[in-house]
Amino acid sequence: MAIFLNDVSRTFGEYLLIPGLTTRLCVPSNISLRTPLVKYKVGEMPDIRLNIPFVSAIMQSVSGPELAIELARYGGISFIYGSQPIDSQVEMVRRVKKFKAGFVVSDSNLTPEHRLTDVLALIGRTGHSTIGVTDDGTPNGKLLGLVTSRDFRAEKDDHSMKVKYFMTPFEKLYVGKTGISLSEANQIIWEHKLNILPIIDADRNLAYFVFRKDYDGHRENPYELSGEDKTLRVGAGINTRDYEKRIPALLDAGVDVLCIDSSDGYSEWQRDTLRWIREQYGDTLRVGAGNVVDREGFEYLVDAGADFVKVGIGGGSICITREQKGIGRGQATALIDVAQARNEYLRKTGLYIPLCSDGGLVHDYHMVLALAMGADFLMMGRYFARFDESPSKKLRIGNNYVKEYWGEGSNRAQNWQRYDLGGMAESLKFEEGVDSYVPYAGKMKDNLDITLGKIKATLCSCGAVTLDELQRNAKITLVSSTSIVEGGAHDVILKEQT
């Protein structure tokens, strides 16, 4: 007969936080959201700490290089998806590691022989009004000039006119040389009242652009997550099949941390992968594992060598594992159980194993509940898929803009390796994820500022100024179904929003 657990499988929506004493210190400007990413000994510092407790999901529709760059600039980290050929994943990691804050690689380039119609098409496709004119039309070709919106009049000029006749030629440009610091580049921009400064190498090849409009953004971004070499931190997802080839290639590209991507991490396949990593690289390579939903899964992966453990099966908005297989656990219950196991492991060994809560976050306040219940950081897919920086397409459906969002367990992802079924993998014929849309939300920064503001305000109400204080002092209560209704607007007629 099966083993029956007495606890109810609960979600974050069934809990509320009880206010704590809000002291004079509990103001948003004093709140620190720093949190460990990888395991460490008590009394020591972890090798990698996040400045905000957010990581992006290991998904094709979420974690590309653009989102990885933006999230690292604001203090989190992305795990570039592994459901792709090794070479393309490696190139994505390289793009993140080559990024220099303020130094932008041009993604809008033409040759002098292109025409105004090509300029207009490129602007329509990318939304960028600054175009580098190079000898071969590539981002790193020899710089011959620039085209901006001030160089042509789309409504009056002949659309067949070649770029070389209306571009600003190289001879009239102010440029910087590679090796210049961002502060030096910004000084040139301010002295000469420029909107853009091209950066070229010794052979006059275009390397970067520095934009005037980014100046304030750099000053307002003190939480950038970078390593000792000043490059942005970036992670990558791996599977339990080709890791012997994939991992060395990712390390060569400069990856900072890895995570085994699977819907069910309590498996011998993950144990074997972790053991191979420890045999080859010792403790120098940081790798997370999962997903699990109970203490047995947690202890199994930690004993195998995991640096952090992901918690959650079936709670993601696009995940249908519970429907298809009847496997999973309510995210709140799973997290509470695993966090208790983590704390016992800490008392026994002196090692702290960070937990990543993956899935089940419907509202922003759920994030604080997850952190209070023991999560050190949150992995999110739907949240990040809505932004400009995610790799999926933006579409208009009816009167609304949406972005495509699909699960790694869907047919579209074609990624059966993550299910750890050994020789059965080739015969897996059903899906564990759906293909869907999410409402388009604009730029990451605008949304992230609001979310982080809510989290900090909630910590203040709980009487905590750090995540550690939140976990130690937060009070949480179960709510009834009628209490949930009471918590929203009720018994009023809402005005229509204009």
Q: Is 422 left (phi over 0), alpha (psi -120 to 50) or beta?
A: left
Least confident of 47-51, 53-57, 112-116, 211-215: 211-215
34-93 per-position pLDDT tens digit: 999 999 999 999 999 999 999 999 999 999 999 999 999 999 999 999 999 999 999 999
- Alpha helices, DSSP H only, in 254-326? 268-281, 295-304, 321-325
pLDDT of residue 102: 74
Catalytic residue of the set 26, 319, 356, 462: 319
Instruction: Based on the residue annotation, tell me whether 259 is a catalytic residue of this protein.
Output: no
The values of phi and psi at residue 284, to 5°, are: -75, -25
381-433 per-position pLDDT tens digit: 999 999 999 998 888 988 899 998 886 655 555 544 444 555 444 545 555 55
Q: Is 34 exposed, middle or buried (0-12, 13-18, 19+ CB in 10 A)?
A: middle
Q: What's the pLDDT band for 498 if we cut at 50, 70, 90?
A: low
Say which amino acid occupies 318: I
pLDDT of residue 213: 67
Q: CB of 352 within 8 A of CB of 346? A: yes
Length of the chain: 498
Residue 132: how many CB atoms within 10 A of its CB? 26
Q: Is 328 left (phi over 0), alpha (psi -120 to 50) or beta?
A: left
Report which DSSP code applies to 380. E
pLDDT of residue 105: 83
Mean pLDDT of 298-304: 98
Least confident of 4-13, 267-276, 287-296: 4-13
Higher pLDDT, 154 or 305: 305
Say how many CA atoms lie within 13 Å of 459 toward its Cβ.
Answer: 29
Instruction: Based on the residue annotation, tell me whether 319 is a catalytic residue of this protein.
Output: yes
DSSP, residue by residue, 381-413: SHHHHTBTTSSSPEEEETTEEEEEEE-TTSTTT
Mean pLDDT of 18-34: 96
pLDDT of residue 334: 96
Catalytic residue of the set 49, 271, 418, 462: 418
Q: Is 175 exposed, middle or buried (0-12, 13-18, 19+ CB in 10 A)?
A: middle
The answer to whether the predicted template modeling score (pTM) of the entire model surpasses 0.75 is yes
pLDDT of residue 226: 87
The values of phi and psi at residue 425, to 5°, are: -60, -35
Mean pLDDT of 365-371: 97
Percent above pLDDT 90 for the chain: 69
427: CB partners within 8 A, 6+ apart: none
- Name the 3-class secondary structure at 17: strand
End-to-end CA distance of the chain: 59
Residue 322: how many CB atoms within 10 A of its CB? 16
